[in-house]
């Protein structure tokens, strides 16, 4: 009997993905899973470079100050591209050939509906959270004050 009956489990990709997700969550590695455009994507913890790339697209969003139902509906097509490109950048993250991967993901995201886009943006904003940045900036500032105390 031995090892032979266990071989199918060793090559089961779904089982490997599940064990990877469990181990990452146990280790505290953060990620968010979002469904958008009929596919599931995993957004890993965002680097400063990735944040800058998606904010570059989201800064192009142009919304009028006073809203009516008609004005909001008319602004969706004009701003949808910037939203989707920003989401694609966040999903892509960093690494090798990120520009090409971002373009491919953007093409897939064009199928997304407004509810999926909203949930994706909420997840990305939650992962960006400024708390960690400000905590690390505060710690760095305190460290410099300890090392380089001004003479009195």
Whole-model pTM over 0.85:
no
120 contacts: CB under 8 Å, gap ≥ 6? 34, 36, 87, 112
Report the Cα–Cα distance between both ends of the chain, in Å, rounded: 79
CA triple 100-133-47, angle to 5 deg: 15
SS3 103: helix
Rounded to the nearest 10 degrees, what angle do helices 114-128 and 69-92 cross at?
50
Residue that wins the pLDDT comparison between 46 and 107: 107
Q: Say how many residues make up the chain.
A: 152
pLDDT value, residue 114: 87
CA distance 152 to 145: 13
Q: Please state, for a pLDDT cut of 70, what percent of the chain lies above it.
A: 71
Element (H, E) at 92: helix 69-92
Per residue in 36-81, pLDDT tens?
A: 988 999 988 888 888 889 999 988 888 777 777 676 677 778 888 9
Contact 92, 86 (CB under 8 A): no
């Amino acid at each position: 009997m031995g090892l032979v009956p266990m071989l199918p489990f060793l090559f089961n990709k779904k089982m490997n993905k599940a064990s990877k997700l469990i181990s990452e969550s146990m280790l505290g590695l953060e990620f968010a899973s979002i469904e958008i455009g009929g596919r599931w994507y995993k957004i890993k913890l965002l680097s400063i470079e990735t944040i800058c790339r998606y904010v570059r697209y989201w800064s192009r969003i142009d919304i009028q100050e006073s809203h009516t139902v008609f004005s909001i509906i008319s602004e969706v097509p004009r701003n949808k591209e910037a939203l989707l490109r920003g989401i694609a950048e966040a999903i892509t993250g960093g690494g090798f050939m990120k520009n090409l991967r971002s373009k491919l993901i953007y093409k897939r995201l064009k199928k997304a509906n407004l509810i999926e886009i909203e949930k994706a943006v909420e997840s990305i904003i939650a992962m960006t959270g400024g708390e960690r940045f400000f905590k690390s900036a505060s710690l760095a500032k305190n460290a410099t004050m300890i090392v380089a105390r001004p003479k009195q």
